[in-house]
């Protein structure tokens, strides 16, 4: 099965006056066609940087290196700006978090949508307009003809997010990267948007890289989940496997914070502290200062990502004992 | 007492910061030199610039005895005039700047903090003042009340406070709604107390910055008015030196130094105050400065350092056993 | 709602204008016992009674008879009919006619300078914003602190010396036949451009740099907005993003500033006009000042203020057309 996105050993660093910020350290991701991979982590852990780098959209103040970077079968590592531009919006597109600031405030949403069709399908203005209205209708916007002429600030938050989704799906791309698409919305609207996103994804068979800090949002959408912590993948598995048998203490902390996924009464784990300063990361395991189960080795040596069960990767020294404990409990 | 001590401490810290800033230091040094020139002008100047009796020495070129030559019409030593010119420029600039800072910040704080009718009236006055063209107005007033720097300073102050009052007002409105001020109000602090302890310190940097920039602006305006012959007819100012050079034919006879010298004087004084103002702006809001050097940082980061960084970020899979 | 706001805005503008007129009217009369005193002919060996008659006649001639209030009402009445009074010059020409004679000449200088500053500023500022942190950008930032510290009339003097006298590229003083011989032929238009070169050049330098810096800051702050990333994610090229999204947003505050600076078009170039002896409003005002021609000075002040008010009003009302986020009547 061919992949929609393959990234291997991605490293991103930002030199600043305060020191080098190590945003992403050796992240590898791959997404099958039509699959939905969720990338979960606290804000500041490097997920948004990862998504921008996947599109090659970071500006040149960043140092970016990767061993492999393949989008929809195209090796884009050596791609020029021009080649990337042809790819963006056509075969891979993006949905952003805050739709109000992600839309040009002085241009009607319709014209902004037109731009995609004109750029990639070489349509005339009139044809693009028809397609745009249809696209607005497809994402469930009432009166698409009138909304076409609206400015972003005239729409509600949910409507704006729908516009962004319409824009992302406009040319039926093979991969869509959604960077916290529902975070800025009310819970009820959030559910509607997730529903819409799922429906659109299934209809068009698009692969989706869904980025979120919220495991509960992700658990309905994703086929696979990757948990990111301080620039590294902490754990990665099929959704059901990860939710049923989280191996990394961080994942367990995240899961226990979600009501309804894990019913055990005694299992609420409070993750104390905050993410390490990306310019000054701790020795050993990055999670050890916050980990309640850390042992001596955690403060000395970085654990590597290790495949425990088939398809279930985890980065932790003390894997075996957690596993056996949890295993006994489950049986 | 504590307030005064705090203020003194604040001023000391402020100058330290200003001195640490490259722009600020350049500005401070130039202002210092100019002040020395202004105060000790009679000691520094080799000739009496008011002496117009040296008719034989009209329009001399620069030489060892007259460093910048002599004026075309009356034969005064231009270097001495240049030194004495700092007096007018600095005093008009500083007095006006400080007066505007005082008036503008007071009225701005009143409008912002007291609000209501006071705010309404002050802002209407500002609306009117802003429309009236300053230069023609100043000319009209000097025509009515006589040509003197006192009149000029008064006009500048009366019509110059509006901009500062506006900025201070909007700043005060922001602070007024800040939680710490609300908390102070709830805990029963008087309005006067809040004004002195919370609002004035918060706007003080802004006021100092705009004072430096106002001084610079006023110096240019003063030079313009003196150039038009609206200053004290007897005083020596750079603007008047330029006017004399022009009317005396400095351009016509190719004596460009008679124009360049006062020009450089104006430039230096304005430039130094602007540098200080911009340095303070950088201290208040570091975002204005930061971020310009990112690309150079990347270019510097090459070779081994970069390799080491990338190697330290290396990650791999552990083979499952 | 919208109509109400426009009406309110217009009424307020008229009110401010009224206050300005009042100020301009009374400033020359403050602290003066008899504003007409300097125009009376010498008494000579005339007896006091007939001298009083002469004085009264003179007052009438200069429009200074009656109380201040009646003079003021008379002035206001004239103003309502678009009459700014008569100048004290020989033949007492209408102030309005004098202004109309000079206005185009001032506008030639200031409008061309403004347009050049705007366009060069946009081009240079955008360039520097794109090359942020490189030498071009640093050069602009340093140049802006230097050029704003140089008064334009000093630049004007240096330019007359180097370009006017030494190299003789442009005329150092305006040709005095320029005005009288102007007849809209291509030849005379070229002559105007040739004579206007130095005055425009000397105001241009500082204007371009400060405009460029404003554009640069504005472009940089817009470039950091998320919607620019969206536009890039759609596959638009840098060029397209720049023209369609960055500049449209970045120029909003610049264009507004341009509207506001319209008010400086007339009164801003007094010194420059004086240096080049340009036949404009600035020199007219200085002439009026030298001859104590108060009606003319008042008229010019009122005209400039009215122009500024109108410019501000129009900019204000047009702003909502440029920026769809702003609806009229709401404080931004």
DSSP-assigned letters across all residues of A123-182: --HHHHHHHHHHHHHHTT-SSHHHHTT--GGGS-HHHHHHHHHHHHHTT--SEEEEESTT
| C275: confidence class by pLDDT, cuts 50, 70, 90 | confident
Neighbouring chains of A at 3+ CB pairs under 8 Å are: B, C
C227 vs A55: CB contact, 8 Å cut-off?
no
Does residue A82 belong to the interface with chain C, where contact is any CB pair within 8 Å? yes
**pLDDT at residue A327 is higher than 70:** no
Domain of C254, CATH number, reads: 1.10.3720.10
User: A34-50 pLDDT, tens per residue?
Assistant: 999 999 988 888 888 99
Nearest CA in chain C to A164: C230
Cα-based torsion angle of the residue sequence A224, A229, A235, A237 in order, rounded to the nearest 10 degrees: 0
Average pLDDT over residues A236-265: 80
Contacts of C224 (CB under 8 A, 6+ apart): none
Question: Is the residue at C332 inside a domain?
Answer: no
Q: Which of C218, C221, C230, C323 is the mutation pick for testing A, counting most A CBs within 10 A?
A: C230
Average pLDDT over residues C291-295: 84
CA distance C154 to chain B (A): 6
Inter-chain CB pairs, A–C, below 8 Å: 79
Average pLDDT over residues C278-286: 89
The percent of residues in chain A predicted with pLDDT above 90, rounded, is 40
Q: Which of C30, C51, C80 is the last residue of a domain?
A: C80
Average pLDDT over residues C74-95: 82
pLDDT at A40: 92
Does residue B299 belong to the interface with chain A, where contact is any CB pair within 8 Å? no
Query: Same domain for C137 and C284?
Result: yes
C324 vs A106: CB contact, 8 Å cut-off?
yes
Query: Same domain for C46 and C144?
Result: no
Contact residues on chain A for B300, CB-CB shorter than 8 A: 15
Instruction: Find where tokens 């307009």 sit.
Output: A129
d(CA B185, CA B177) in angstroms, rounded, equals 11
Does residue C160 belong to the interface with chain B, where contact is any CB pair within 8 Å? yes
Contacts of B73 (CB under 8 A, 6+ apart): B58, B244, B247, B248
| C277: confidence class by pLDDT, cuts 50, 70, 90 | confident
Query: Same domain for C107 and C183?
Result: yes
* Residue bearing the bigger pLDDT, C171 or A132: A132
* Residue bearing the bigger pLDDT, A288 or C264: A288
CA distance A48 to chain B (A): 18
Q: Which of A104-113, B262-271, C35-44 has the lowest mean pLDDT?
A: C35-44
Does residue B307 belong to the interface with chain A, where contact is any CB pair within 8 Å? no
Query: Same domain for C69 and C105?
Result: no
Contact residues on chain B for A307, CB-CB shorter than 8 A: 317, 320
**pLDDT at residue C145 is higher than 70:** yes
Structure-block tokens of residue A48: 């948004």
Q: Please state the domain count of chain C.
A: 2
State the ipTM, two decimals.
0.86
Average pLDDT over residues C211-235: 90
Query: Same domain for C118 and C246?
Result: yes
d(CA C113, CA C120) in angstroms, rounded, equals 11
pLDDT at B209: 87
Select the residue of C133, C146, C292 nearest B293 (Cβ to Cβ). C133
pLDDT at A217: 86
CA distance A158 to chain B (A): 31
Average pLDDT over residues A38-66: 88
What are residue A143's phi and psi, to 5 degrees? Answer: 50, 60
Cα-based torsion angle of the residue sequence C214, C220, C226, C232 in order, rounded to the nearest 10 degrees: 120
Contact residues on chain A for B315, CB-CB shorter than 8 A: 9, 25-27, 232, 304-305
User: B220-261 pLDDT, tens per residue?
Assistant: 989 998 998 888 888 888 988 888 888 877 676 777 788 888
B315 vs A232: CB contact, 8 Å cut-off?
yes
Does residue A98 belong to the interface with chain C, where contact is any CB pair within 8 Å? yes
Q: Which of C234, C236, C330 is the mutation pick for testing A, counting most A CBs within 10 A?
A: C234
Q: Which of C38, C54, C80 is the last residue of a domain?
A: C80
**pLDDT at residue A97 is higher than 70:** yes
Average pLDDT over residues A220-228: 91
Are residues A180 and A213 in contact, defined by beta-carbon separation less than 8 angstroms? yes
B140 vs C28: CB contact, 8 Å cut-off?
yes
User: B148-207 pLDDT, tens per residue?
Assistant: 889 899 999 988 898 899 889 988 888 888 888 888 888 888 888 888 888 888 888 888
Are residues A163 and A181 in contact, defined by beta-carbon separation less than 8 angstroms? no
B145 vs C31: CB contact, 8 Å cut-off?
yes
Nearest CA in chain A to C225: A101
Contact residues on chain C for B246, CB-CB shorter than 8 A: 157, 275
**pLDDT at residue A6 is higher than 70:** yes
What is this structure's pTM?
Answer: 0.83
d(CA C152, CA B92) in angstroms, rounded, equals 20
CA distance A34 to chain B (A): 26
Question: Is the residue at C296 inside a domain?
Answer: no
User: A136-175 pLDDT, tens per residue?
Assistant: 999 999 999 999 999 999 999 899 999 999 999 999 999 9
Does residue A101 belong to the interface with chain C, where contact is any CB pair within 8 Å? yes
Picking from B126, B157, B131, the residue whose alpha carbon sits closest to that of residue B222 is B157
* Residue bearing the bigger pLDDT, C1 or C89: C89
SS3 content of chain A, % helix, strand, coil (to 5): 40, 25, 35
The percent of residues in chain C predicted with pLDDT above 90, rounded, is 14
Question: Is the residue at C160 inside a domain?
Answer: yes
Mean pLDDT over the full length of chain B: 82
CA R_g for chain C: 25
Q: Which of B227, B251, B278, B294 is the mutation pick for testing C, counting most C CBs within 10 A?
A: B251
Mean pLDDT over the full length of chain C: 83
Contact residues on chain B for A61, CB-CB shorter than 8 A: 294-295, 297-298
Are residues C326 and C320 in contact, defined by beta-carbon separation less than 8 angstroms? yes
Give the CA distances from residue B175 to residues B116, B195, B202, B203, in Å, rounded to whole numbers and listed in that order: 17, 11, 8, 9
User: B58-112 pLDDT, tens per residue?
Assistant: 666 777 777 777 777 777 788 888 888 899 899 999 999 999 999 999 899 888 8
Select the residue of A90, A103, A119 nearest C227 (Cβ to Cβ). A103
Picking from A148, A151, A211, the residue whose alpha carbon sits closest to that of residue A180 is A211
Does residue C244 belong to the interface with chain A, where contact is any CB pair within 8 Å? yes
Number of H helices, E strands in chain B: 14, 1
Q: Which of C291, C306, C325 is the last residue of a domain?
A: C291
Residue ranges making up the domain that contains C66 = 3-80
Nearest CA in chain B to C266: B133
* Surface of A (227-286) touching C: CB under 8 A: none
Query: Same domain for C57 and C138?
Result: no
Query: Same domain for C39 and C171?
Result: no
Query: Same domain for C152 and C276?
Result: yes
d(CA B239, CA C118) in angstroms, rounded, equals 29
Question: Is the residue at C69 inside a domain?
Answer: yes
pLDDT at C52: 80
Select the residue of B300, B301, B318 nearest A304 (Cβ to Cβ). B318
Contact residues on chain B for C305, CB-CB shorter than 8 A: 131-133
Contact residues on chain B for C28, CB-CB shorter than 8 A: 140, 143-144
Strand-strand pairing, A232-238 and A312-314? antiparallel
d(CA A65, CA A12) in angstroms, rounded, equals 7
Inter-chain CB pairs, B–C, below 8 Å: 137
User: What order of strands is seen across the sheet that includes strand A312-314?
Assistant: A92-95, A175-179, A207-212, A36-40, A224-229, A232-238, A312-314, A305-309, B317-318
Question: DSSP class of residue B61?
Answer: P
Question: Is the residue at C315 inside a domain?
Answer: no
d(CA B256, CA A143) in angstroms, rounded, equals 73
Instruction: Find where tokens 């309502």 sit.
Output: C80
Q: Which of B133, B173, B257 is the mutation pick for testing C, counting most C CBs within 10 A?
A: B133
Q: With both helix axes pointing from N to C terminus, report the angle between B200-227 and B238-247 in degrees, rounded to the nearest 10.
A: 20
Contact residues on chain C for A86, CB-CB shorter than 8 A: 235
Query: Same domain for C241 and C184?
Result: yes
C149 vs B267: CB contact, 8 Å cut-off?
yes
Buried b (16+ CB within 10 A) or exposed e, B115-150: eeeebeebeebbbbbbbbbebbbbbbbbbbbebbbe
d(CA B67, CA B95) in angstroms, rounded, equals 31
pLDDT at A323: 45
CATH no. of B87-290: 1.10.3720.10
The domain ranges of chain B are: 87-290, 291-321
d(CA A235, CA A225) in angstroms, rounded, equals 8
Mean pLDDT over the full length of chain A: 86
Average pLDDT over residues C180-190: 78
CA distance B7 to chain C (A): 30
Q: With both helix axes pointing from N to C terminus, report the angle between B134-145 and C281-290 in degrees, rounded to the nearest 10.
A: 10
d(CA C284, CA C274) in angstroms, rounded, equals 9
Q: With both helix axes pointing from N to C terminus, report the angle between B257-284 and B78-109 in degrees, rounded to the nearest 10.
A: 30
Query: Same domain for C150 and C253?
Result: yes
């Amino acid at each position: 099965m061919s992949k929609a996105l393959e990234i291997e050993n991605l490293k991103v660093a930002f030199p600043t006056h305060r020191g080098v910020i190590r945003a992403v350290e050796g992240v590898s991701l791959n997404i099958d066609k039509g699959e939905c991979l969720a990338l979960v982590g606290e804000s500041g852990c490097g997920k948004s940087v990862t998504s921008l780098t996947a599109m090659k959209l970071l500006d040149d103040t960043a140092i970016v290196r990767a061993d492999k970077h393949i989008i929809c079968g195209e090796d884009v590592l050596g791609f020029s700006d021009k080649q990337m531009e042809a790819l963006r919006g056509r075969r891979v597109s993006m949905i952003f978090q805050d739709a109000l600031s992600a839309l040009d405030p002085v241009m009607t949403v319709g014209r902004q949508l037109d731009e995609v069709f004109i750029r990639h399908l070489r349509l005339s203005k009139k044809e693009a307009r028809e397609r745009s209205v249809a696209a607005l209708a497809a994402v469930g916007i009432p009166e698409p003809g009138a909304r076409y002429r609206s400015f972003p600030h005239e729409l509600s938050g949910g409507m704006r997010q729908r516009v962004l989704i319409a824009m992302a799906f406009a040319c039926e791309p093979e991969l869509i990267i959604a960077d916290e698409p529902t975070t800025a919305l009310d819970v009820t609207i959030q559910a509607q948007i997730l529903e819409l996103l799922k429906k659109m994804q299934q209809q068009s068979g698009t692969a989706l890289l869904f980025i979120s800090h919220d495991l509960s949002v992700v658990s309905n959408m994703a086929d696979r989940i990757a948990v990111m912590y301080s620039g590294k993948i902490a754990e990665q598995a099929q959704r059901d496997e990860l939710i049923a048998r989280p191996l990394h203490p961080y994942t367990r902390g995240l899961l226990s914070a979600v009501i309804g996924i894990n019913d055990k009464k005694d299992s609420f784990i409070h993750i104390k502290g905050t993410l390490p300063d990306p310019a000054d990361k701790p020795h050993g395991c990055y999670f050890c200062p916050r980990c309640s189960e850390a042992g001596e080795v955690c403060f000395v040596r970085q654990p590597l990502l290790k495949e425990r069960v088939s398809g279930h990767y985890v980065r932790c020294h003390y894997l075996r004992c957690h596993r056996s404990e949890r295993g006994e409990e489950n049986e | 007492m504590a307030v005064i001590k705090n203020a003194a401490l604040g001023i000391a810290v402020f100058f330290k910061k200003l001195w640490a800033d490259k722009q600020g230091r350049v500005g401070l040094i130039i202002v210092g030199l100019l002040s020395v020139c202004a105060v000790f002008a009679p000691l520094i100047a080799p000739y009496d610039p008011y002496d117009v009796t040296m008719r034989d020495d009209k329009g001399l070129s620069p030489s060892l005895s007259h460093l910048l030559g002599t004026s075309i019409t009356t034969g005064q030593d231009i270097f001495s005039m240049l030194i004495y010119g700092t007096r007018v420029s600095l005093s008009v600039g500083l007095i006006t700047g400080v007066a505007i800072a005082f008036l503008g910040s007071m009225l701005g704080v009143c409008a912002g903090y007291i609000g209501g009718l006071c705010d309404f009236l002050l802002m209407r006055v500002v609306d009117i003042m802003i429309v009236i063209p300053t230069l023609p107005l100043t000319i009209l007033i000097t025509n009515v009340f006589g040509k003197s720097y006192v009149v000029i300073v008064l006009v500048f102050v009366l019509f110059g406070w509006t901009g500062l009052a506006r900025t201070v007002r909007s700043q005060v409105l922001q602070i007024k709604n800040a939680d710490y001020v609300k908390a102070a109000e709830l805990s029963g602090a008087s309005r006067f107390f809040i004004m002195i302890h919370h609002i004035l310190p918060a706007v003080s940097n802004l006021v100092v910055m705009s004072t430096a920039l106002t001084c610079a602006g006023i110096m240019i305006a003063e030079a313009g008015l003196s150039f038009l012959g609206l200053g004290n007819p007897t005083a020596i100012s750079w603007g008047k030196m330029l006017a004399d050079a022009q009317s005396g034919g400095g351009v016509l006879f190719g004596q460009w130094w008679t124009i360049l010298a006062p020009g450089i004087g104006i430039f230096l004084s304005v430039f130094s105050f602007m540098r200080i103002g911009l340095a303070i702006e950088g201290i208040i809001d570091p975002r204005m400065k930061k971020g310009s050097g990112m690309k150079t940082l990347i270019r510097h980061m090459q070779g081994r350092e970069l390799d080491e960084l990338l190697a330290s970020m290396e990650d791999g899979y552990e083979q499952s056993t | 709602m919208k109509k109400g706001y426009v009406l309110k805005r217009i009424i307020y503008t008229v009110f401010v204008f009224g206050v300005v007129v009042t100020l301009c009217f009374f400033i020359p009369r403050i602290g003066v016992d008899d504003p007409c005193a300097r125009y009376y002919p010498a008494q000579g060996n005339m007896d006091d009674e007939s001298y009083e008659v002469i004085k009264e006649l003179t007052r009438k001639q200069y429009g200074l008879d009656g109380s201040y209030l009646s003079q003021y009402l008379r002035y206001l009445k004239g103003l309502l009919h678009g009459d700014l009074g008569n100048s004290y010059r020989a033949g007492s020409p209408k102030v309005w006619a004098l202004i109309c004679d000079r206005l185009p000449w001032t506008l030639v200088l200031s409008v061309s300078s403004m347009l050049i500053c705007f366009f060069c500023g946009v081009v240079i500022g955008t360039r520097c914003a794109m090359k942020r942190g490189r030498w071009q950008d640093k050069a602009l930032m340093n140049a802006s602190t230097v050029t704003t510290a140089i008064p334009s009339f000093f630049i004007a003097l240096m330019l007359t010396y180097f370009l006017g006298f030494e190299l003789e590229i442009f005329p150092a003083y305006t040709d005095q036949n320029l005005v009288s011989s102007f007849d809209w032929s291509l030849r005379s238009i070229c002559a105007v451009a040739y004579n206007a070169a130095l005055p425009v050049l000397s105001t241009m330098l500082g204007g371009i740099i400060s405009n460029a810096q404003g554009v640069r800051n504005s472009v940089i702050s817009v470039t950091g907005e998320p919607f620019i990333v969206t536009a890039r994610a759609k596959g638009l090229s840098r060029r397209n993003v720049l023209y369609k999204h960055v500049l449209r947003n970045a120029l909003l505050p610049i264009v507004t500033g341009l509207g506001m600076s319209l008010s400086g078009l007339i009164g801003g170039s007094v010194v420059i006009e004086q240096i080049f002896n340009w036949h404009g409003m600035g020199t007219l005002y200085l002439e009026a000042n030298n001859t104590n021609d108060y009606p003319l000075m008042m008229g010019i002040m009122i005209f400039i203020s009215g122009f500024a008010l109108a410019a501000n009003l129009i900019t204000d009302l047009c702003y909502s057309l440029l920026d769809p986020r702003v609806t009229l009547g709401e404080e931004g």
